[in-house]
Amino acid sequence: MVFLKAGIEYDSNTKNVSLHLLNYFMKKRVVVGLSGGVDSSVAAYLLKEQGYEVIGLFMKNWHDDSVTISNECPWLDDSNDAMLVAEKLGIPFQTVDLSEQYKDKIVDYMFREYKMGRTPNPDVLCNREIKFDVFLKIALDLGADYIATGHYCRKGTLIKNNKETYQLLAGKDPNKDQSYFLCQLSQEQLSKTLFPIGELLKPEVRKIAKEQELITAEKRDSQGLCFIGKVRLPDFLQQKLKPKEGEIIEISSSFSGFKKENLVFNSKEEELAFISEKQNYTKQKGKTVGMHQGAHYFTKGQRKGLAVGGTKEPLFVIDTDVKENIIYVGLGKNHPGLYRRGLLVLSEEMHWVRPDLKINIGESLDVMARIRYRQRLESATIYFTKSGLYVIFDNPQSAITEGQFVAWYQNEELIGSGVIS
């Protein structure tokens, strides 16, 4: 196994290892976000081995024991593990309390989105607003040249017109690629970031940790929200969104709204809008099959928690109406209400990791795209119109959900993203 030395970066075009403009003869300072997990632990180790001056920093974010399953991801244990890793590596270690910023930028955002009937992705926002913004500024105040995280992704560097352009590349481990979670990063943020484990597979990371006798070597991966642990979502939401009983309405797969006739469109944009349009349901179009305690507690594609039995196949949420407090469900994972080919990203919610690749109004681009983490990349075409950016998939996608992020790629590079409207 070959590890890249300090000052050496991966050039995605030539597939060669090339010297970058980092000062090879001076130690660069890197602040690593030590989460108490194996990935960030190995990231810190690799950077130290590569000759960087490494500082470990643990972020204490918003935490509420009343809604956190504390025995699964207690922040205090994570902080202690991070400290022990720093001691083992012989690097300075600090804890920084970002509770206030996390509440303002992430927790309050989650409440707003759920109240509007949208399903947010706090991990994407946490990366954009906390790890690669607040945390980055703290690191720079400490004299850092870079920050580093344990994300399974890579950074490439291109030289265009004597100017550096940074690429956000998928991690080499196809089962752990986390580029989607970083889909809102900017060129400025990427310029100050290193991803030390992006070239490695997860088993290789654990092997290194074990060889170095790091306490995190066999620690389970966190399944919780960004740096705060595993949360009981209904309990979390009930802090501000109170329970309210409403109906669960089942929509038949033979519902007339699912039948798409061969229509003639006056423009391409009219066709794109039709393909991307949400289905509208009313309670009169279905039958009541149960009751729930709040439509804002549910999301499209959800199967668990409905508490409706006696059906031949599982019921899936196909839509929610928070104004009328109604959940619409369909029978089986192949119900037509779960699927559509298109979605719209409003212009103000569109983001280009590579601004130099941004298309203009009236232009289109063939891409690969995904609408959630761990989803395989799907062939799609993006169209930029006056209404916003349409993403039209070659094949229908299940549970396209408002508030989530769609990310689009060219080959292994994530070039842009946006919030699904």
Tens digits of residue pLDDT in 137-148: 999 999 999 999
Tokens coding 104:
């303002």
Please say which residue of 179, 212, 237 terminates a domain: 237
Q: Residue 288 — φ and ψ, nearest 5°? A: -75, 125
Mean pLDDT of the region 126-141: 95
Total Cβ atoms within 10 A of residue 51: 14
pLDDT for 69 beyond 80: no
Mean pLDDT of the region 203-215: 98
Model confidence band, residue 222 (pLDDT cutoffs 50, 70, 90)? confident
* One domain for residues 207 and 331: no
pLDDT for 316 beyond 80: yes
What pTM, to 2 d.p., does this model score? 0.88
CATH of the domain at 123: 3.40.50.620
User: Can you tell me the distance from the alpha carbon of 342 to that of 394, in angstroms, rounded to the nearest whole number?
Assistant: 9
Single out the catalytic residue among 73, 153, 183, 226: 226
Which of 173-182, 228-237, 331-340 is predicted with the least confidence, judged by mean pLDDT? 228-237
Model confidence band, residue 15 (pLDDT cutoffs 50, 70, 90)? very low
Model confidence band, residue 225 (pLDDT cutoffs 50, 70, 90)? low
* One domain for residues 219 and 310: no
- The SS3 call for residue 310 is coil
Q: In the annotation, is 126 catalytic?
A: yes
β-pair type (53-60, 153-160): unpaired
Highest mean pLDDT, choosing among 63-72, 207-216, 231-240 = 207-216
Single out the catalytic residue among 73, 126, 153, 183: 126
* One domain for residues 305 and 213: no
Query: Which residue do the tokens 């993203």 mark?
Result: 417
Interval 29-62: pLDDT, tens: 999 999 999 999 999 999 999 999 999 999 988 6
How many structural domains comprise the chain?
2
Mean pLDDT of the region 271-279: 95
* One domain for residues 222 and 340: no
Report the run of H or E that residue 270 belongs to, with start and end.
Answer: helix 268-276
Which of 12-26, 52-66, 238-252, 327-341 is predicted with the least confidence, judged by mean pLDDT? 12-26
End-to-end CA distance of the chain: 44
pLDDT for 257 beyond 80: yes
pLDDT for 25 beyond 50: no
* One domain for residues 199 and 253: no
Interval 389-398: pLDDT, tens: 999 999 999 9
Total Cβ atoms within 10 A of residue 379: 11
Model confidence band, residue 226 (pLDDT cutoffs 50, 70, 90)? low
Predicted pLDDT of residue 49: 97
User: Can you tell me the distance from the alpha carbon of 97 to that of 76, in angstroms, rounded to the nearest whole number?
Assistant: 12
pLDDT for 10 beyond 50: no
* One domain for residues 247 and 222: no
Interval 292-309: pLDDT, tens: 999 989 999 999 999 998
User: Can you tell me the distance from the alpha carbon of 142 to that of 276, in angstroms, rounded to the nearest whole number?
Assistant: 47
* One domain for residues 221 and 280: no
DSSP at 338: G
CATH of the domain at 387: 2.40.30.10
- The SS3 call for residue 366 is strand
* One domain for residues 408 and 289: yes
pLDDT for 9 beyond 60: no
Please say which residue of 174, 206, 237 terminates a domain: 237
Mean pLDDT of the region 118-144: 94
Predicted pLDDT of residue 13: 41
pLDDT for 251 beyond 90: yes
Q: In the annotation, is 183 catalytic?
A: no
pLDDT for 65 beyond 60: no
Enclosing domain of residue 96: 8-237
Model confidence band, residue 223 (pLDDT cutoffs 50, 70, 90)? low
Model confidence band, residue 338 (pLDDT cutoffs 50, 70, 90)? very high
Interval 74-112: pLDDT, tens: 678 899 999 999 999 999 999 999 988 988 898 888 888
Q: Is residue 1 part of a domain?
A: no
Provide the total of helices (H) and of strands (E) in the chain, helices listed first: 10, 20
Averaged confidence pLDDT in the chain: 89
Q: Is residue 165 part of a domain?
A: yes
Q: Which residues contact 15 (CB under 8 A, 6 or more apart)?
A: none
Please say which residue of 207, 237, 267 terminates a domain: 237
CA distances to 10, 11, 155, 157, 421 from 17, in Å? 5, 6, 13, 11, 41
